[in-house]
Structure 1
Amino acid sequence: MRPIQRSIHAVLTGDLVASAESTPESVDAAVRALETAAGQVGLWTGRDTHFTRFRGDGWQLYLDTPDLSLAAVLLLVATLRARRTELETRIAVGFGTINKLGETGNGLADASGEAFTLSGRALDEMPRHRRIALAGPGVVQGWHDALFDLVLWIAGRWTPEQAEAVSLALDPRERRTQAEIAGMLGVTRQAVQARLSGAGWDALAGAVAAVAAHDWGDPDG
């Protein structure tokens, strides 16, 4: 058992949309894409996200800080689109305390705490037509709901090329230039500029920064 200090954390719980209409291979590919994105988020934070697959098309990951919650959501969506999985995911983000992350080797199967409870419940109660839900009494404010909703609406219209460029631009450690992204993708800087512009990156970057700069507080004070 790994006890966690009392502070605000974020838990992302999700499932794939209309996975029953897809092949098992497509579902597996989509979950692998999400796991890859979760691993990248872990590099951002320096902490394992403990990505865990549930119920075939369900999944969950842990963020030790809520600051990067919107960036993580965007990376998950971007990776699915960039890999042309043709599947989308619903995401419920729970903000709160965590009691434990569970036993080594079991992923988050026996993890517990407020953030886990809130995230799981929010996913269960989310209407099927929605793609994002937030839960965190006393933590989540009205503008968070509106901002995450708007950002997911924009991301839902990305092309695979736009999503790929955004996924590379999101890294808060690197703060890559368009020229650096172009080199990684093997395209011109102008092509990257067009892809990021078409993806609404300037506005999205501002939204990500606003969430990262927000004082998420502590339930004890």
Structure 2
Amino acid sequence: MSMPAHTVAVLTGDLIGSTASGETATDEAMASLHKTTVEIAKWRGVSPPLRFFDRYRGDGWQILLTHPAYALRATLVLAATLASTAELPRTRIGIGIGPADIPDNKDFAASTGAAFIASGHALDTLPRARVFAIEGEHVTSLHRAILALAEELSGRWTPEQAEATALYLSPRQPTLAAIAERLGISTQAVSYRIRGAGARALRDAATWWEQDAEDRAP
């Protein structure tokens, strides 16, 4: 038996340069990603089964979002999580949108469906110079364009900018003052980091992406 297929987002990733980074940094990167998925699971509209496939192919990982509209936001937050620590390897991410068949026991390894296939294919065919890709149901050239621009901005983050951006991109839309308190720095310093990261534009892009997904939903 399996749960009925419904549209989800599957994010499949692998760490960049994990061999050169070493086993300790790779383990820390995986732990950091896992911790972030726990926070993503608390976002409004996300419910089980969200899973973190903690390891495959040595440095690979995978999560499933039951609320596929969050695909862009989750991708950026996961990327920011790793970029916030200079010693950790960054990650490539293939996003797949579509139906998924999940066994009743929620065994991720036994799950199937178009979202998993699209996500794996997006990652496997990603050009060497790129880090984000998307394929699947209702994916358009505009989605790919937004993702390409998001990739360009995220590739320029300093660790400090990435740390602030990971918090700023929460769908709860925390204030700069709240982020400043969390990081133990001034509100002005947070503002500089957010501006330098292009995080305001990224948050707007994620919000409009989600609105488009909601508009398309049956």
With normalisation by structure 1, the TM-score equals 0.90
Asked whether 1:119 is paired with 2:119, we answer yes
Q: Which structure is higher in strand share?
A: 2
Instruction: State the match for 2:165 in structure 1.
Output: 166
8 Å contact kept, 1:154–1:200: yes
Task: Please list, as runs of the form range in 1=range in 2, the aligned pairs for 1:21-36 lying within 5 A after superposition.
Answer: 21-36=20-35
Instruction: State the match for 1:207 in structure 2.
Output: 205
* Partners of 2:48 and 2:86 in 1: CA distance: 28
The count of corresponding residues between Structure 1 and Structure 2 is 214
For residues 29-80 of structure 1, the C-alpha deviation after alignment (integer angstroms, 9 at most, x for no partner) is 1111111121111111243421002111001000012111111001111100
Identity across matched positions, percent: 39
Assess, with a 3 A threshold, how the Cα gap between structure 1 residues 84 and 71 changes in structure 2: closer, same or farther: same
Asked whether 1:153 is paired with 2:152, we answer yes
Deviation at 1:202, TM superposition (A): 1.7
8 Å contact kept, 1:102–1:111: no
Deviation at 1:2, TM superposition (A): 4.4
| Counterpart residue identity of residue 69, structure 2 | D
* Partners of 2:61 and 2:87 in 1: CA distance: 16
With normalisation by structure 2, the TM-score equals 0.92
8 Å contact kept, 1:102–1:109: no
Asked whether 1:93 is paired with 2:91, we answer no
Instruction: State the match for 2:11 in structure 1.
Output: 12
Deviation at 1:82, TM superposition (A): 1.3
> Can you give the 5+ residue segments of structure 2 that lack an aligned partner in the other structure?
none
Instruction: State the match for 1:54 in structure 2.
Output: 56
Does the residue aligned with 2:6 lie in a helix, a strand or coil? coil
Runs in 1 of length 4+ with deviation above 3 angstroms? 101-104, 215-218
Question: CA RMSD for the aligned pairs?
Answer: 1.7
| Counterpart residue identity of residue 83, structure 1 | T
Does the residue aligned with 2:97 lie in a helix, a strand or coil? strand
